[in-house]
Amino acid sequence: LDHTATEGLPDKSLDSAAINRLKTHRWPGNVRELENLVKRLVALYADPVIGVDVVEMELAGSTDSSLASNHDNESATLGGTIERHLQDYFDGHNGDLPPRGLYDRVLRELERPLISLTLSATRGNQVKAAEILGLNRNTLRKKIKDLGINIIRGTK
């Protein structure tokens, strides 16, 4: 988790049950698979402490996506993950409607890890990141500033 903080991702922690679950998981992809899972947990989940239930859900999802043979299945997995989170959010309001501004809130929560992970993948190269994201370079720079994303150049 310390490594993800140096990549501009939010500061998070795992509860002891989640750590124990990660220790008992068989990692066919070795360290890279573990690193990818941790980045996904930090980027996709809003809670500051990630529990074993979230880890279990992601491990089940990563097993499914590792069996997927094309990008369509991987995209469906991302969409399914987002849908589950949104459903949990609505369910958490016990039949009431959530407060106004949900669309902007969801976009903000998605945008920060999306940009952070893309910058990490491009080793801080904003021109490449803008191309991957389909954004104008100046738009990306404004979003980086507005979202308070730290750019770590040359690391991956």
Using CA atoms, how far residue 24 sits from 19, 20, 27, 106, 114, in Å, is: 9, 6, 9, 33, 29
Enter the pTM of the model: 0.50
d(Cα 60, Cα 75) in Å, to the nearest integer? Answer: 16
Specify whether the CB–CB gap between 133 and 140 falls below 8 A.
Answer: yes
Q: Would you state the torsion angle of the CA atoms of residues 65, 143, 84, 5, taken in this order, to the nearest 10 degrees?
A: 70
- Judge contact between 107 and 146, C-beta under 8 A: no
SS3 string, 37-51, reads HHHHHHHHCCCCEEC
Show the tokens assigned to 7.
Answer: 């990549």
Q: For the structural domain made of 100-156, what CATH number should be given?
A: 1.10.10.60
Per-block mean pLDDT, blocks of 10 residues, the chain (156 long): 59 86 81 82 80 85 48 58 81 85 88 90 93 96 91 68
Distance separating alpha carbons of residues 65 and 67, to the nearest angstrom: 5
Q: Are strands 49-50 and 13-14 parallel, antiparallel or unpaired?
A: parallel
Distance, CA of 156 to CA of 20 (rounded, Å): 26
Identify any residues that bridge with 14 across adjacent strands, giving them in sequence order: 50
Q: What is residue 125's predicted lDDT score, i.e. its pLDDT?
A: 94
User: Domain limits of the chain?
Assistant: 100-156
Interacting residues of 20 by C-beta distance below 8 A, sequence separation 6+? 52
User: Which pLDDT belongs to residue 77?
Assistant: 72
